[in-house]
Structure 1
Amino acid sequence: MKTQHASDASKRDGNATEQYFATEPSSEDVRRRMKVTLRGQDAVVEVSNGVFSGSRLDLGTSVLLREVPEPPETGTLLDLGCGWGPVSLALAFASPKADVWAVDVNERALDLTRANAKSNGCEHIHAASPEQVPADLTFDAIWSNPPIRIGKDALHDLLMTWLPRLNPAGAAYLVVQKNLGADSLIPWLATALGDDYEVSKYHSAKGYRVIEVLRNK
């Protein structure tokens, strides 16, 4: 698909009805550059149509990045549902000695994340589809603004695919809008994950909940 560039980062996303979790977005790939600040680190990034939050830093992502504790300095870290890569970049800036995996089903999102990682000197970011992640790979931390709008059943399947891959003493942080079911997700996760995990509300801000998932053993 032909890639175009546009300097106006404030332009609206192209096909407003297109789902950002499509594998191959049908909207035109019109790329825009913008400046963002991620946990105190300035970055210039590319965004585009057909990708989650394709014209700005999403409010939920901003809440997540502002409130979560520092990630491990080393190990393997996961950004689940990476979009154009703001969470991956924040993890990479904070933990330059760690391996950061940026996972998304959207091929355009992965392409943007790779480009943004390269342009910001984060060679330790690995952007991959779920199928490309080694089946035996486990994670010391997971940060995610998960794709709530894929539906409850699909969301539950997604979370139960990845959260059990936390290493012992690992922690996951998820940001979910309160009016999209954040409070009911907490007890569901606690039941589904079982006794080896602790699930709780870590923080609330601007209509969002940050959910903490700790693996004890």
Structure 2
Amino acid sequence: MTILAIVLAGLLGGISPRLLARLPEPTAEPDPDMPEKIEYAILGATPRLALWLAVTAAALAAIAAATISEPKLLPVWIPIAAATPVLAWVDWKVHLLPYLIVAPLYVVTWLLVGVSALLMQDASVLLHALLGNLAVFGFYFVLGVIGPMGYGDVRLSAVVGVALGPLGVVATFYGVFFGMVIGAIVGLVLVRGRLGTKTPIAFGPYLLLGAFAALWV
């Protein structure tokens, strides 16, 4: 299962630039505080991007395989491992998390949680996934209302909540905690010497890295 998870995540990560290049461009007016929008086709055509995304996706799948104690939950993390590098790449470059990547990832995550629940013959897996979904999404939704958190990050948090929920309350808590800590540290570095200025921060990568970091707990 471990080798299969690594290979699948790597293959999906490797083809993700082609999928990215085919995404329609956002129709909303650009935010003047955000970096200039680079077309998805240009981002997807970056030299050697497929290799880097494939290697990163495979590495994340290896982390999941090495740390998740219940093998039947590992398939849930394969598409997340595959999507994390491409989402991070886009968010770093243009501060956007494409809806047409996040929304299907959310659906697939729920489907695989359902398959895992069937294989484990444990309906509580679905309940824990739902609770994780509601808790993590609710937390980030509040941050989006009262703070500068983008709604793309809020949507992505639901995926993280669904995946972490079946691993327990502790993993879910640390997934949020680590994501916030990593994001805060990077944010402090980015605004160093420029306090009081608007410095947009792509939080999506740190949200996802926090989830994988929580698997070690």
For Structure 1 versus Structure 2, the TM-score category normalised by the shorter chain is under 0.3
Normalized per residue, the structure richer in strand is 1
Q: 1 or 2 for the larger relative contact order (CA 8 Å, sep ≥6)?
A: 2
Give the TM-score, by structure 2 length.
0.28
Higher helix share: 2
